[in-house]
Amino acid sequence: MTRPTLVALSWLKAHEEHVESRVAELVERFRRTGCVDYAVVADAQTGTVIDGHHRLEALRRLGARLVPAVLVDYRDASITVRSWREDERAPTKDEVLAHALAGKLYPPKTTRHDFVRLLEPADVPLATLRGGAQAAEA
């Protein structure tokens, strides 16, 4: 995976709802540490988030304008989608993209994306994400 870059929060599109308790934990942690530890992972063409819905929502609530993101080619065959639950059919990539682009959110933990996880900590200061520092690569 490539290093994260800073992208406009408004460009990113969720395809799943978030779990409120998890978002609250992240808001508290980001406030306490003053930085965001890991980037979200999103499709480079559409901004569809494939990993990091809770981080995205926490940053939205903290007033961030920018988000550290690792941008990937979601169509790449090495990225697969499956369900977290054995008895549920996973949506296809096309269905995930269509939901994100239409603003239709699946329930939390509907999709589980498998990809090579080489994400290193981003450790981007909140001040940078709120626009308080010059936006540059994370």
Catalytic center residues = 16
Residues 6 or more apart whose Cβ sits within 8 Å of residue 124: 4, 6, 35, 36, 39, 68, 138
CA-to-CA distance for 120 and 107, rounded, in angstroms?
28
Residues 6 or more apart whose Cβ sits within 8 Å of residue 96: 15, 48, 50, 74, 81, 111
Asked if residues 132 and 66 have their Cβ atoms less than 8 Å apart, the reply is no
Q: How many CB atoms lie within 10 A of CB 104?
A: 10
